[in-house]
Chains A and B, each alone.
Chain A
Amino acid sequence: MPGLFGVLFATARRDLTLVWKRPGDSLNPLFFFAMVASLFPLAVGPTPEQLQFAGPGVLWVAALLAMLLSLNSLFMSDFEDGSLEQLLVSPQPLVVMALGKTIAHWLTSGLPLVILSPVMALAFQMELEVAGVLMVTLALGTISLSLLGSVGAALTVGLHRGTALLSLLILPLSMPVLIFGARTVSLAAAGDAYSAGIYALAAYAVGALTLVPFATSAALRISNS
């Protein structure tokens, strides 16, 4: 039998291969992020001051919504074709497999957002250093969001009216990530010290990485009982 890292790697690789075969699905949230972020200047106003003021918050909310949008598919297709049950009955620890799937989810939905974010930051008239801070906060924040979202996705998998419910469950829980993320970028944009927020985001991500897979695997077992 493969070791724990073998299981983690195999689960993640399987999901990544599936995404690779149908890249369109995982690109949709990315386009969604870009479009929502482009809507705000139209609504808020196009002057550089307005954009600089609204930028951190807008980009963070857009990223949060894009992550939320991508979460639906985390366990859905596996649930529909029965491979989720195969994972549940397999002798390998479900915690590790849930973590593997979440890692694959972050790589296909969180990481593209992080890579795209400097471009959007420049569109919002941010300075290069601030764009870097945005990238770092998004990288740490989307890890937490992927993990938190995996609990919600596991709880609502197989429910027909899952989409709206998933948002209802996840959005309140993701508030600290949003606060720390957007606030840190705002502080950086204003020229203040911003490292505390990055540390807090990192701490949150590490804490979530440690604890959340257990909740996710418990939720998966409950949803499929």
Chain B
Amino acid sequence: MWTFLKKLYHQLASPPHFYRLSPTFILWLAVPGYLLILYGTIAGLVYAPVDIVQGERFRMIYVHVPAAYLSMMAYMIMAIAGGIGLIWRLKLAHAVAASAAPIGMAFTFLALATGSIWGASTWGTWWEWADPRLMSELVLLFLFIGYMALRGAIDDTTRADKASAVLAMVGAVNIPIIHYSVEWWTSLHQGSTLLKEGGSGMQDTAQLYPLLAVIFGFTFAFGAMLLRRARTEVLIRERRTRWVKELVLSNEGDL
């Protein structure tokens, strides 16, 4: 088992093997991912019982929570992959970091937008400055924007990879500090629904299961999207190598 994993790791770290093996992984992530999202959204948005306090508005949770969680997950993947690329000089890690940024930014925006719409009807305000989560999420969006701007400004790919990796890691250290600095103000955001002391805050399984389904579904779908982007990124980065040329010639343009 261990030798198999080790072999898999080394194979995946090499761009041609990654390109060859990734469709299988994408398929195994995408199919359950989108099935879970399909079940979660239908069950959550249509069949789940209405919340006593929040009414129909609570259904926003089925998009908001996975998006918010994945925005942070995407940043951590970006920073860790950048760090791996910087330390072990793994070319593939940089390709993954570059691919995670736009997806992460999209999820961050989605989390902010859904949260804002929900806040407008529940808190009576579109935006609350004193809330740590809102501010952290906004700063996260800014960090993604800065990261992509830095990447875009540097023409040399190797330099862009390394410079943006340093920025991502500095940002990763700073995010918790930003969070607590805003928490110093009073918080308005409600506490975590799922992770509460003494079990889940969501007692009704008809509400809970769809939420878990979308969380896992979004995660799998994110993995599939990430690998899909990384695949294209690898192809662009390796465009001058022999294996890409052979690939193109053997497929006659049908990749």
State the CA gap A196–B181 with chains docked (Å).
Answer: 11
Q: Is A69 interfacial (CB-CB < 8 Å)?
A: no
Answer yes or no: A35 CB below 8 A from chain B CBs: no
Min Cβ gap A85→B in Å is 15
Most buried by B among A151, A179, A180: A179
Q: Write the B189-214 contact mask toward A (1 if CB under 8 angstroms, else 0).
A: 00000000000000000000000000
Task: Please name all residues of chain B whose beta carbon is closer than 8 Å to the beta carbon of A148 when the two chains form the complex.
Answer: 170
Q: Which residues of B contact A155 (CB under 8 A)?
A: 150, 163, 166-167
- Indicate which residue in B149, B166, B181 contacts A215 across the interface (CB closer than 8 Å): B166
* Chain A CB within 8 A of B31 CB: no
Please tell me which one of the listed residues B162, B178, B181 contacts residue A200 in the complex, with CB atoms under 8 A apart. Answer: B181
Query: A183 near B159 (CB under 8 angstroms)?
Result: no
Q: Cα distance A54–B154 when bound, in Å?
A: 39
Interchain CB contact under 8 A, B153 and A204: no
A211 at interface (Cβ–Cβ under 8 A)? yes
- Bound-complex Cα distance A211 to B154 (A): 25
With A179-B184, A219-B166, A222-B166 as contacts: A172 and B153 at CB distance below 8 Å? no
Contacting chain A: which of B14-22, B100-108, B139-147, B233-241? B139-147
Which residues 68-83 of A have a CB within 8 angstroms of B?
none
Do B174 and A165 have beta carbons less than 8 Å apart? no
Taken residue by residue from 81 to 106, chain B's Cβ proximity to chain A (1 for < 8 Å, 0 otherwise) reads as: 00000100000000000000000000
Smallest CB separation, B172 vs chain A (Å): 11
Q: Does residue A50 face the partner (Cβ distance < 8 Å to B)? A: no
Is B177 interfacial (CB-CB < 8 Å)? yes
Instruction: Verify if A4 is at the interface (C-beta below 8 Å from B).
Output: no
Q: Are A165 and B150 also in contact (CB < 8 A) when A172-B139, A204-B177 are? A: yes
B38 CB within 8 Å of chain A: no
Alpha-carbon distance A225/B143, docked complex (angstroms): 24
A212, B182: Cα distance in complex, Å: 22
Q: A165-B149, A175-B181, A176-B177 are in contact. Are A222 and B159 (CB under 8 A)?
A: yes
B223 within 8 A of A: no
Within 8 A of B (CB), among A167-218: 168-169, 171-173, 175-176, 179-180, 183, 196-197, 200, 204, 211-212, 215, 218
- Asked whether A161 is an interface residue with its Cβ less than 8 Å from the other chain, the reply is yes
Return B241 CB to nearest CB of chain A, in Å: 21
Bound Cα distance from A156 to B151, whole angstroms: 11
Whether B146 and A169, one on each chain, are in contact in the complex, defined by CB atoms closer than 8 angstroms, is yes
A89 within 8 A of B: no
CA distance A204 to B173 in the complex (A): 12
Q: Are A175 and B178 in contact, CB atoms less than 8 angstroms apart?
A: yes
Q: Which residue of A lies closest to B149 (CB)?
A: A168
A183 CA to B150 CA, complexed, in Å: 31
- Give every chain B residue within 8 A of A169 (Cβ-Cβ): 146, 149-150, 167
- A215–B182 CA distance with the chains assembled, in angstroms: 25
A-B contact pairs, 9 of them (CB 8 A): A148-B170, A151-B167, A159-B154, A161-B153, A171-B142, A172-B139, A172-B143, A183-B185, A219-B166
Given A148-B170, A169-B167, 6 other A-B contacts at CB below 8 A?
A: A151-B166, A155-B150, A159-B153, A168-B149, A222-B159, A222-B163
